[in-house]
Each structure stands twice: as structure tokens, then as C-alpha cells.
Amino acid sequence: MEEIGATQPIAPAVAVSNGKKKPFYTSLSWQVLFGIAVGIVLGIARPATAVAMKPLGDGFIRLITMIIAVIIFCTVVTGIAGMEDMKKVGRVGGKALLYFEVISTLALLLGLIVGNVLQPGAGFNVNPAMLDTKAVADYAGAAKAQSVPDFILHIIPNTIVDAFTRGDILQVLLVAILFGFALSAMGPRCKHVVDLFDGMTHAVFGVVNIVMRLAPIGAFGAMAFTIGKYGITALGPLLKLIATFYLTCIVFVLVILGAVCWAVGFNIFKFLAYIKEEILLTLATSSSEPALPTLMSKMEQLGCSKSLVGLVVPTGYTFNTDGSSMYMTLAALFIAQATNTHLTLGQQLTIFIVAVLTSKGASGVQGAAFIALVGTLTVIPTIPVAGMALLLGIDRFMSMARAVVNMLGNGVATLVVARWEKEIDGKTLTKNLAHPQPVASVPEPVNAGQSVL
């Protein structure tokens, strides 16, 4: 399999076999893994030098995030503009939101159950008055309570340009859907506009291919900073919480997502192998956003339509944050246990209900789940918000697992909705996962008036 990020032409790639197998070190996944390993070694051996590598990771993330808005806009516009049945847009969106709500609710419940069974905070006996709350107060300022009307109004940008300058995924998605519907309604009169956006899609994915060559460097910088800044030894006191959360994530992926995958006709392990580059990249950067462009490209390569991928994946980055959901209920119980705060069943259900709303704001950006958790605890005065100070030192390590599960959940969601829409059958999907073709640098063109769903 030729990896995304390898040297490829801007035009769609064509599978050519010369009988020679490429060396393993030319694979992007191996290069990223090597960058992570070197970053860990440097972080342990030379912490000060490792911390100075932070701009490498931050720079790579910014290179990816600067083009996410354009990718989403062009993909969704050309996808919807080429559809014959406009009702499918609403149907796909409705199915996706229903799936998101069910799976993210299961994630919240799993975190609640694991927190009660394993009790990772038991025995800490922390006095909240002795904790340093200054850093938590900074997060609390950003975690203002947001009502449902506020959330809906936030989706509407002040101007079209404002949606792109802010880089808000949902705002860009709203603008793209409106443009797509308008172009579809005008038909052949706007064919040249659709062709323009389709050409831009090719160009932007070409940029993604160029930027992805820097992924090993970005992974090295991000991992070196994490280990150098926080250190492996700092994990000791909270190792039980970290191990509990990682175990919960593994159970969620293999059991819950695995059962979902089995129900719609494919294997979770083959899917994990298929997106191994995105997993490593997300793990290294502690953010799922750098993997968004290549995840969308790979979902199309499996047989999902451009418009479905453009609707499900970006929306899922806000509404389907499974890793963040598990973290919020588990971490809330950890703080309560660590500070010897007894919670009744009713209070735990209150945490669950509030988290259902606040978790929807925990997008793929690193640290968003931490802010959402602060917002949850401010609504429930029983648990001391000062206890969040216990999590500050390990949040970077926790965000690694959160981001990976968030990204995996959205990939699975895309395939599930595609199967519901009968875009691809189970046998074909299984075959594509087992024997993937070289990933094209850009999606195939969509002509105006051609149905892609």
C-alpha cells in the first residue's frame, strides 16, 4: 500500500505494480513511528532540548489546520451540487446525528461504570484547599456555560469570511451545505462554478500530500515536547488513572466499536490497520484534527461518497467525541473520589446529563475536553473544581488517547452511515480493507448533475 504523504502526482494515482516491494522505511507510518521514538528518547535524555522542539509539532498542526476549512467547503459543495436526490442530504445528516448521540452516550456511560468499578481516585485523600487553583481558573474562564440556543447561534457565522478565518468546522460546514444546495438548484447554469470548486478540491488535496511529508518531523516535535515537559516520572502518582482511562478506551474501541463494525459487515482490526498512519499521527500530536484530511480521503477510497464523507466526518468532530465523553465522566468521578466527595446516584446521573451537552463542544483540538470538563464541574458544585489541578500535569497524556478514540469513532461512523445508505456492500468493504489500493492523492472529480450518493 502506498501511503498518503509519499511522493505522488497531483492527478489521481493509478496502481502500478513493478514487482518490487518498497523498503519499509519509505512508509509514512514507519517514518512517523520513528519520529515518535526519537522524540521519546530525546525527551528522556535531554528534557530542555526536547521542550525546545515544540514549534516543530505546533507548526505541523497549523499547516494542516490552515487547509481544513477549504477541504470541507470544497468537498461538501461539490458533493451536494452533484446529487440528484436532495432528500438524501437530510437523511444522511439525520442518521449520522442519531448514531453520534447513541455512541457518545454509550461512551459517557462506560466512563461512569468504569469509574465506579475501578475507583481510580480512591485513597488519594486530597484536600482541595491545598491545591493550586490558579491554572484551573484560567480554564474555567474559557468554560462558560452554553445553552442550547447559544450553541445553535454559534453555528451561524457573523459573515461567510468569518467562518473561514475562525476555522470553526461547523460554521464552515453550514456555509458549504447552503452553497451546495444553491448550486444544485441552479443546475447547468452553475456547472462552471462546480467545476471550479472541484478543481480546488484537487489542488487542496495536493497541498495535503506535500504537508504530510512533514508528518514525521511534526510527530517528533510534539512527542519530544510532551516527554521533555511533563516527564515519564511525573506519571507515577496518577498512573492508576492513566492506565484506567487507556484500558477504558481499548474496551470501547474493541468491544463497542468492534460490535458496531461487526454488525454492519467489517472487522475493526482491519480498519485499525487501514488507518494506522492517522492513529500514529493523532497519538503523537494529541489532536485528531491533523488526521482529518487524510481520514476523509481514505474513507472515499473505501467507497464512501464525497458528499457523505464531507457531512459525517466534520460533523462528527463536534458531535461524536467518544474519547472526550469517556474522559469527562471518568475524570469527574476520579476528582470526587480523590477529594473524598461522596456522590449519590442522582448526582452521578446529573453529571451524565450535563456531560451529554458539554461534551458536544469537545472538538478535535487538544485540551478542549479538559475545558469542557471544567464547564461540567462548574454546574455541579458538589465536586470541587479545584480538583482539576490534579489532572493538569497528565492532561497531555490523557489527550493522546482521547484524540485517537475521537478520530477512530468518526471513521467508523462514516462507514456505518455509508452501509446504511447502501453506498457500499459488506463484501466489497471487507475486500477493500484487506487489500487496499494505492490511495489517490485527490478524490475523483464529480460532475454537476451526477449523483454521488
Interval 371-416: pLDDT, tens:
777 767 777 777 887 777 778 777 878 888 999 999 999 999 999 9
Q: Give the integer Cα–Cα distance in Å for 28 and 6.
A: 7
- How far apart CA 42 and CA 38 sit, in angstroms, is 6
Q: Is residue 95 part of a domain?
A: yes
* Total of domains in the chain: 1
Domain of residue 229: give its range. 24-434
Give me the numbers of helices (H) and strands (E) for the chain, helices first please. 22, 0
Q: Which residue has the cell 494529541?
A: 286
Cα dihedral: 290, 32, 218, 60 (round 10): -30
Q: Please say if the pLDDT value at position 269 is more than 70.
A: yes
Q: Got the DSSP string for 185-223?
A: HHGGGGHHHHHHHHHHHHHHHHHHHHHHTTHHHHHHHHH
pLDDT of residue 440: 44
User: Cα(151)–Cα(144) distance, rounded to whole angstroms?
Assistant: 12
Assess if residue 9 is contained within a domain: no
Tell me how many degrees the CA angle 360-363-368 measures, rounded to the nearest 5.
95
| Closest by CA position to 112, among listed 264, 312, 332 | 332
Predicted confidence (pLDDT) per residue in 33-83, tens digit: 888 888 889 888 888 888 898 888 888 888 888 888 888 888 888 877 766
310: nearest Cα among 88, 98, 101: 88
Ranges 118-127, 225-234, 258-267, 303-312: which has the least confidence: 225-234
Using CB atoms within 10 A of its CB, is residue 147 exposed (0-12), middle (13-18) or buried (19+)? exposed
Does position 441 have pLDDT exceeding 60, yes or no? no
Q: Identify the H or E element spanning 114.
A: helix 87-118
Alpha carbon separation from 54 to 32, 39, 227, 229 (Å, rounded)? 16, 11, 11, 10
Length of the chain: 453
This prediction has a pTM of 0.79
Task: Copy the grid coordinates of residue 102.
Answer: 447513541
Query: How far, in whole angstroms, is CA 157 from its chain's centroid?
Result: 22
Provide the 3-class DSSP secondary structure of residue 133: coil
Spatial separation of the C-alpha atoms in residues 411 and 416, rounded to whole Å: 9
pLDDT value at 364 more than 60: no
pLDDT at position 426 is 81
Residue 344: CATH number of its domain: 1.10.3860.10
Phi–psi pair at 423, nearest 5 degrees: -75, -25
Place of cell 462514516: 414
Secondary structure letter of residue 253 according to DSSP: I
Instruction: Calculate the CA 44 to chain-centre distance.
Output: 28
d(CA 39, CA 368): 24
Query: Strand, helix or coil at 166?
Result: helix
Task: Using the predicted structure, report yes or no on whether residue 6 has a pLDDT greater than 50.
Answer: no
Rounded Cα distance between 332 and 358, Å, is 13
**342: phi then psi, degrees, rounded to nearest 5:** -75, 130
Q: Is residue 7 in some structural domain? A: no
- φ/ψ (deg, to 5) at 267: -100, 130
Instruction: Examine residue 12 and state whether it is found in any structural domain, yes or no.
Output: no
Q: Rounded to the nearest 5°, which phi and psi values hold at 366?
A: -60, 135
Position 25 confidence tier, pLDDT thresholds 50, 70, 90? low
User: Which of 359, 322, 318, 288 is closest to 171 using CA atoms?
Assistant: 318
- Return d(Cα 16, Cα 40) in angstroms, integer: 37
Assigned domain for 445 exists = no
The single residue listed with the C-alpha cell 474555567 is 140
